[in-house]
Structure 1
Amino acid sequence: MRIALLLLGLLAFACDNKKCDPSPAGEACGVANPVENLVWLRDRITELKTNNAELAKYFYVQQSTYQGQTVFIFGNCCPFCDSIFLVRDCAGNTLDIASGSVDGATTVIWKAENSLCTFP
């Protein structure tokens, strides 16, 4: 059952074709707060918290760069899940890269209030 919920959560991160403007210094995807200001990202986080309330404590979103562009990594620290970490661009498109391929520092930009994940 938990695996099914996890898979449903991952499917909730469907592609969105909204485009973003290039980012000025200090901003990501042309906005100061991507979690609040990128509609597709805010919607995916809301879906994750709502549709997977029991598992939400294991999920997080990180921001990084890949080949000079801002990317968002949807990951989890679920101890009983076999997961693929999705990497998305500013428009919400899934990139065909592994989360370990990002070339910038990663910053956690969202995790559940009751998160069980720890970060260095």
Structure 2
Amino acid sequence: MKRLVSLSLIFIIISSCSNNKENDFSSLICNVEKPTEDLDWLESEIDILTDEGDQYNYIKQAEYNNQTVFIFANCNPLVNSVFFVKTCDGQNIGIIGTREQDIPWSILNNGEIIWKADDSECNL
């Protein structure tokens, strides 16, 4: 009987520790696994950036006001850039800046680069 209880406990522990991706919604970004491939609008934006051959562009994913956002940025040292911020549905919600209506620069510190050009010149 003790052996049956021990085997049952081992089975329960192993079952509860399994990595079941189908039920792991915490890993989803904007309700998709790979935003750069699964969000049509984002994939289109990346295609445009790739076609332009600009080695200074990159896209960062971050959290802002409890939602996932995408920051379209570049590191070109010769250009005064505007970093656009878009939501999961591709809506532009503002720019990063220092004015009161702008999104603060600090969100860049917590973000993650999700795309950059293959020949990127950015030291990220």
Whether these two folds match at TM > 0.5 is yes
Equivalent runs, 1:86-101 vs 2, <5 Å: 86-98=84-96, 100=105
Greater helix share, 1 or 2?
2
Equivalent runs, 1:21-100 vs 2, <5 Å: 24-50=25-51, 52-53=52-53, 56-98=54-96, 100=105
Structure 2, unmatched stretches of 5+, are 1-24, 97-102
Letter matched to residue 69 of structure 2: V
How many positions carry a matched residue from both structures? Answer: 93
- Displacement over 4 Å in runs of 4+: none
Letter matched to residue 73 of structure 1: I
Cα RMSD (Å): 1.6
Name which one, 1 or 2, has greater alpha-carbon Rg.
Answer: 2
Residues 57, 101 of structure 1: CA spacing in aligned structure 2 closer, same or farther, 3 A cutoff?
A: same
Residues 83, 103 of structure 1: CA spacing in aligned structure 2 closer, same or farther, 3 A cutoff?
A: closer
TM-score by length of 2: 0.70
Cα deviation for residue 102 of structure 1 reads: 2.8
Higher relative contact order (CA 8 A, sep 6+): 1
Identity %: 38
TM-score by length of 1: 0.72
Letter matched to residue 78 of structure 2: F
